[in-house]
A and B are shown apart, each in its own frame.
Chain A
Amino acid sequence: MLSFIARRLAIAIPTIVLVSVFVFFLQKLLPGDPALVLAGEERDPETLAFIREKYHLNEPILTQYFYWISAMLQGDFGISLRTNQPVLELIADKLPVTIQLAVMAMFIAMIIGIPAGIVSAVRKGTAVDYAANIIALSGLSIPNFWLGIMLIMLVSVNLGWLPASGYESPFVDPVRSLETMIMPAFVLGTALAATLMRHTRSAMLGILRADYVRTARAKGLRERVVVLKHAFRNALLPIVTLSALLFGELLAGAVLTEQIFTIPGFGKLIVDAVFTRDYAVVQGVVMCTAVGFILMNLIADVLYFLLNPRMRTAL
Chain B
Amino acid sequence: MVESLEMQSDVTAGSRLLTVENLAIRFKNATANTVDGISFGVDRGETLCIVGESGCGKSISALALMGLLPMPPAEIASGRISFDQKDLLSLPAKTRADLRGDRMAMIFQEPMTSLNPSFRIGDQIAEGVLRHRAVSPADARRRALEMLERVKIPAASERLDDYSHQLSGGMRQRVMIAMALANDPDLLIADEPTTALDVTIQAQILDLMRTLQQETGTALIMITHDLGVVAEIADQVAVMYAGKIVEQGPVQAIFDDPQHPYTIGLMSSLPSLGERQSRLTTIAGMVPTIDRMPSGCRFAPRCPFTTVTCEAQAPALSAVSDRHLAACHLAPLENHLAEAL
Contact = CB atoms under 8 A, between A and B. Distances in A.
Direct contact of A and B (CB under 8 A): yes
Interface of A: 125, 210-223, 230, 233-234, 237, 308-310, 313
A212 B115 contact: yes
Q: What are the nearest 5 A-B pairs in CB distance? A: A220-B101, A220-B100, A219-B101, A219-B128, A211-B113
Contact of A211 (B101, B108, B119, B165): B108
A220 B118 contact: no
Given A217-B100, A313-B165, 20 more contacts: A211-B108, A212-B113, A214-B68, A215-B114, A215-B179, A217-B68, A218-B68, A218-B100, A218-B106, A218-B180, A220-B99, A220-B131, A221-B97, A221-B128, A233-B119, A234-B118, A237-B118, A309-B118, A310-B163, A310-B165
Interface in B71-102: 72, 97-102
B116 interface: yes
Nearest to B97: A220
B166 interface: yes
Contacts of A310: 117, 163, 165
B224 to A, nearest CB: 17
B165 A309 contact: yes
B127 A215 contact: no
Contacts of A313: 163, 165-166
A214 B108 CA distance: 9
A222 B68 contact: no
18 contacts: A212-B116, A212-B117, A213-B116, A215-B116, A216-B116, A218-B68, A218-B108, A219-B131, A219-B179, A220-B100, A220-B101, A221-B101, A230-B116, A233-B116, A233-B118, A309-B117, A310-B117, A310-B165
Contacts of B179: 215, 219
Contacts of A125: 72
Given A214-B108, A234-B118, A313-B165, A219 B113 contact: no
Nearest to B66: A218
A234 B165 contact: no
A222 B127 CA distance: 12
Interface of B: 66, 68, 72, 97-102, 105-106, 108, 110, 113-119, 127-128, 131-132, 163, 165-166, 176, 179-180
Contacts of A230: 116, 119
A12 B221 CA distance: 55
A220 B132 contact: yes
A207 to B, nearest CB: 10
B100 A214 contact: no
Contacts of B72: 125
Given A211-B110, A309-B165, A218 B97 contact: no
Contacts of B100: 217-220
A224 to B, nearest CB: 11
Given A210-B113, A212-B116, A215-B176, A220 B102 contact: yes
A255 to B, nearest CB: 37
Nearest to B163: A309
A217 B117 CA distance: 16
A313 B167 CA distance: 12
Contacts of B114: 211-212, 214-215
Contacts of B106: 218
A181 B100 CA distance: 50
Contacts of A215: 108, 114-116, 176, 179
A109 B332 CA distance: 69
Residue with the greatest number of chain B CB neighbours at <10 A, chosen from A212, A214, A223, A230: A212
A309 B131 CA distance: 24
A220 B272 CA distance: 43
B293 to A, nearest CB: 25
B101 A218 contact: yes
A62 B134 CA distance: 76
Contacts of B110: 211
A220 B132 CA distance: 8
Contacts of A308: 117
A120 to B, nearest CB: 16
A130 to B, nearest CB: 15
Given A218-B68, A309-B163, A310-B165, A234 B117 contact: yes
A211 B191 CA distance: 12
Contacts of A234: 116-118
A234 B117 CA distance: 8
Contacts of B97: 220-223
A314 to B, nearest CB: 9
Nearest to B102: A220
Contacts of A211: 108, 110, 113-114
Contacts of B127: 219, 221
Residue with the greatest number of chain B CB neighbours at <10 A, chosen from A215, A217, A220, A237: A220
Contacts of A214: 68, 108, 114
Nearest to A222: B97
B164 to A, nearest CB: 8
Contacts of B166: 313
Contacts of A218: 66, 68, 100-101, 105-106, 108, 180
A194 B163 CA distance: 33
A215 B115 CA distance: 7
Nearest to A307: B118
A310 B106 CA distance: 26
B312 to A, nearest CB: 38
Nearest to A309: B163
Residue with the greatest number of chain B CB neighbours at <10 A, chosen from A210, A213, A217, A223: A217
A147 B72 CA distance: 39
A230 B72 CA distance: 21
A125 B73 CA distance: 10
A215 to B, nearest CB: 5
Nearest to B125: A219
B106 to A, nearest CB: 4
Contacts of B118: 233-234, 237, 309
